[in-house]
Amino acid sequence: MSSFIVDAKHIAEISKHYDALPHRSETFYNPVTNQKIDLHRATSKAKELPFKTVLAVMLGYGNLKGVNDRYPQHRDDQHDREFLTEVGQETLKRKDFNLSIAEIINMIQCLNYQSMDANNYEQSDTSFILQQMKEKFANRWSDIETDGNENKITWCYPK
């Protein structure tokens, strides 16, 4: 398996679209540690930054960790800092309204795949954040498809 650093715009768009979801949460949990995930540890300036920026930087950090764990001989701390700065800056630009929820979900899956070479990834905060974000987008997609009437879609296989 190989992994690569996902484009900064890719990560920023995921975060901007998540930030725009109705009823989105700023709280993510890691069920392995049974604790709330501290998004602010990804950047020292987190308290001053918008949620979407802090979230994107955290996701970018997770992607870098996967690539750096996979290819430690190519690690470049200066490049990593510049990349995370770029990710943060991209979140401050206007969101791309042409992206569908299906595309955002696929972008989450791509980022997840490209980050999974991190040691113990299945138990990592990045893994659980992406999983929880994907669930929120899937729920939103269902709401749109049913015009908010959840009775239009069966919960179980119909008898």
Q: Is the pLDDT of residue 159 over 90?
A: no
* pTM, rounded to two decimals: 0.89
pLDDT at 118: 95
Mean of pLDDT values over 74-100: 94
Residue 3 in any domain: the answer is no
Q: How many Å apart are CA 17 and CA 10, to the nearest integer?
A: 11
pLDDT at 46: 59
The dihedral over CA atoms of 114, 120, 123, 125, expressed in degrees to the nearest 10, equals -60
Mean of pLDDT values over 70-92: 96
Confidence of residue 2 (pLDDT cuts 50, 70, 90): confident
Residue 1 in any domain: the answer is no
Q: How many Å apart are CA 8 and CA 10, to the nearest integer?
A: 5
Structural contact between residues 95 and 50, judged by C-beta atoms closer than 8 angstroms: no
Other Cβ atoms within 10 Å of 153 Cβ, number: 10
Residue 98 in any domain: the answer is yes
pLDDT at 142: 82
Residue 138 in any domain: the answer is yes
HEC-encoded secondary structure of 88-111: HHHHCCCCCCCCCHHHHHHHHHHH
Residue 159 in any domain: the answer is no
Other Cβ atoms within 10 Å of 115 Cβ, number: 27
Between 144 and 116, where is the model more confident? Answer: 116
Structural contact between residues 108 and 135, judged by C-beta atoms closer than 8 angstroms: no
Which of 20, 8, 4 shows the shortest CA–CA distance to 101?
20
State the total domains in the chain: 1
Residue 158 in any domain: the answer is no
Q: What is the domain extent for residue 95? A: 8-152
